Amino acid sequence: MPLRPTPEVRGLARALAASAALAGLLATAACGARAGEETVATESCVDTSGDTVKVGSLNSLSGTMAISETTVRDAIALAVAEVNAAGGVQGKQIEIVAEDGASEPTVFAEKAEKLIREDCVAAVFGGWTSASRKAMLPVFEDNDSLLYYPVQYEGLEASENIFYTGATTNQQIIPALDYLAETGVESLYLVGSDYVFPRTANAIINAYAEAHGIEVLGEDYVTLGSTEFSTIVNQVKSADADAVFNTLNGDSNVAFFREYANVGLTAADMPVMSVSIAEEEVGGIGVENIEGQLAAWNYYQTVESPANTAFVEAFKAEYGAERVTSDPMEAAYNSVHLWAATVEKAGSFAVADVQAAADGVSFDSPEGTVVIDGDNHHVTKTARIGEIAADGLLYTVWESDGPIEPDPFLEGYDWAADLAVTE
């Protein structure tokens, strides 16, 4: 504070006007392309002249999502090490530039831009939440670069610049419904966290239910991270549906399953089909609270295949015997191998060449052979229903007849016609 009245700055209004004018002047002087005009494309700065080529690994290492995404980071690192051990890509060793998305969409966008523009990576692997993917999408499109996204998601998206190696809805949710219908389920109760994936999933479930004569007895959402389930579980109990379809996320699952078990509901009376509970989450919920419940994924650690045996062994050798492998980890692991195979096929690291060569590229992955669909940039995947066993692992109780073609906009399902508009 001034100790005595100081001379007045009479022209503060003028100062304001001056800075505004200055900003305006510079802004207009610096005008770029307007809507509809051709933009000067940003030149890719990827350097392929040396012995190495860089790729980005962008995962949340801090914040609420770190728990899940660090596992994906490990899987990416494992795959890169394997590719390097096998002689690299186009004879070049791959070097990982790791970044922290900090569980915030804006940070994902910022770091993606840094990886592309400052580190000049040939491709980026990572992302988990849909929010982080949506935040990164324009960055990859504007800078014409590539993202490999490894998590099952709500579908309804297909970007030239993203390869989706996790399941879309017709590879996870619809098979789960098929399975429930096969086992005689005639009524469902839907419980989910309040965000895009559960809402989209439940829209699909409602449409499916209507077409297949299944009654939906209730649909409840809780805020992300909520741990108060007494009202909802009581409503579930009194609704007495044949099964519950659970799209809750994170810690909410812990509170939900504890409450569920405590009011006396069991997998035998009212099974819960979950789409976000993998090997990693079972420990926190407590096996005794969730034993016998169902999950829908494409991969479990217990899948029996030579490729998976090798994957699990390699992973445990690298990161410790107590670690488990899960679906998103496997999809991330696949994504690195798929990228490497595509680059080999294209004979080039250039984005356009990779995009052009992608169709039909395949990899013998732990879950079975996956093949890239060049039209929508998703991959074929085998759907599996798993049951949670006393050892905390999930065991396949049902699997689809071979890999399912990806259909992110559900164009192949008549009952889904009203759900989404094709882009």
Partner 1 sequence: MDLLVGQLLTGLSTGSILLLAALGLSLTFGQMGVVNMAHGEFIMAGCYTAYVVQQVVGDAGVSLLIALPIGFLVGGAMGLVLEALLLRRLYHRPLDTLLVTFGVGLVLQQAARDVFGAPAVNVSVPEALRGGVDLLGTTVPRTRLFIMALAVLAVTAVALVLRFTPAGRRIRAVTGNRDLAETAGISSRRVDAATFFIGSGLAGVAGVALTLIGSTSPTTGQSYLVDAFLVVVAGGLGRIKGAVVAAVALGALQAVFETYSTASLAKVGVFVVIVVFLQLRPQGLFTLRTRSLA
Partner 2 sequence: MNIALSCKDIVVEFDGFRAVDGVDLELARGEVHFLIGPNGAGKTTLVDAVTGLAKYTGSVVKDGEELRGRKVHHIARKGIGRTFQTATVFEALTVAQNLDIAAGAGRSPWTLLRRRRHLPPHVRATMERIGLGDRADTPAGALAHGQKQWLEIGMLLVGDADVLLLDEPIAGMGHDERETTGRLLHDIAADRAVAVVEHDMDFMRAFASRVTVLHAGAVLASGSVDEVSGDPRVQEVYLGTAKEPADAATA
Partner 3 sequence: MNRFLQTRAGTWTGFAAAALVLFGLAPLLLSGFRLGLLAQFLCYAVVAVGIGLAWGRGGMLTLGQGVFFGMGAYLMAMHLKTADAEFRGGPGAVPDFMELAGIRELPAYWAPFSSPAFTIAAILVLPTAFAVLLGLAVFKRRVKGAYFAILSQALAGAFAILLIGQQSLGGFNGLSRFRYFFGFTLADPVNQRMLYFIAAGVLLSVVAVALQLRRSRYGELLVAVRDAEERVRFLGYDAANVKVVAYAVAALFASVAGAVFVPIVGIISPASIGIVPSIMFILGVAIGGRASLVGPVVGALAVAWAQTALSEQFPSAWTYAQGLLFVLVIALLPGGIASIASVARRFPTKRTQVEAAA
Residues 8-37 that bind partner 2 (CB under 8 A): 8-9
Q: Which residue has the tokens 């993606």?
A: 112
Residue 284 lies near partner 1 (rule: CB under 8 A):
yes
Q: In the bound complex, what is the minimum distance in angstroms from residue 148's beta carbon to partner 3?
A: 19
Give the residue among 343, 198, 221 at the shortest CA–CA distance from 275.
198
Residue 374 lies near partner 1 (rule: CB under 8 A):
no
Comparing CB distances to partner 2, the nearer of 2 and 264 is 2
Q: In the bound complex, what is the minimum distance in angstroms from residue 2's beta carbon to partner 2?
A: 8
9's CB contacts (< 8 A; 6+ apart) are 15
Among 53, 78, 89, 102, contact with partner 3 (rule: CB under 8 A): 102
- Asked if 135 contacts 111 with a C-beta cutoff of 8 angstroms, the reply is no
Give the residue among 132, 3, 53, 104 at the shortest CA–CA distance from 340.
53
280's CB contacts (< 8 A; 6+ apart) are 67, 68, 71, 324, 326
Comparing CB distances to partner 2, the nearer of 4 and 34 is 4
Distance of CA 126 to the CA centre of its chain: 8
- Spell out, one character per residue from 162 to 201, where the chain touches partner 3: x when CB under 8 A holds, - when not: --------------------------------xxx--xx-
Binding footprint of partner 3, residue count (CB under 8 A): 73
Pair of tokens at residue 130:
């849909």
Comparing CB distances to partner 1, the nearer of 163 and 221 is 221
Stretch that binds partner 3, among 36-44, 168-176, 304-312, 358-366 (CB under 8 A): 36-44
Cα 246 from Cα 253, distance rounded (Å): 9
Pair of tokens at residue 64:
């609420």
Q: What is the largest CA-CA distance in the chain?
A: 85
Site for partner 3 in 220-279 (CB under 8 A): 221, 223-224
Site for partner 1 in 177-196 (CB under 8 A): 194
Among 67, 81, 93, 142, contact with partner 3 (rule: CB under 8 A): 142
Site for partner 1 in 38-67 (CB under 8 A): 64, 66-67
Residue 4 lies near partner 2 (rule: CB under 8 A):
yes
- Asked if 79 contacts 333 with a C-beta cutoff of 8 angstroms, the reply is yes
Q: In the bound complex, what is the minimum distance in angstroms from residue 8's beta carbon to partner 2?
A: 5
Residue 130 lies near partner 3 (rule: CB under 8 A):
yes
92's CB contacts (< 8 A; 6+ apart) are 48, 50, 51, 52, 53
Q: In the bound complex, what is the minimum distance in angstroms from residue 222's beta carbon to partner 2?
A: 43
Amino acid 316 reads: K
SS3 at position 399: strand
Pair of tokens at residue 47:
């350097």
179: left (phi over 0), alpha (psi -120 to 50) or beta: alpha
The option from partner 1, partner 2, partner 3, none interacting with 67 (CB < 5 to 8 A, set by class) reads partner 1
- Asked if 329 contacts 72 with a C-beta cutoff of 8 angstroms, the reply is yes
Among 5, 36, 213, 320, contact with partner 2 (rule: CB under 8 A): 5
The option from partner 1, partner 3, partner 2, none interacting with 190 (CB < 5 to 8 A, set by class) reads none
Among 93, 114, 120, 250, contact with partner 3 (rule: CB under 8 A): 114
Distance of CA 383 to the CA centre of its chain: 16
Comparing CB distances to partner 3, the nearer of 117 and 345 is 117
CB atoms within 10 A of CB 162: 21
Site for partner 1, rule CB under 8 A: 64, 66-67, 70, 194, 220-223, 225-228, 230-232, 234-235, 237-238, 251, 254-255, 258-259, 261-264, 280-281, 283-289
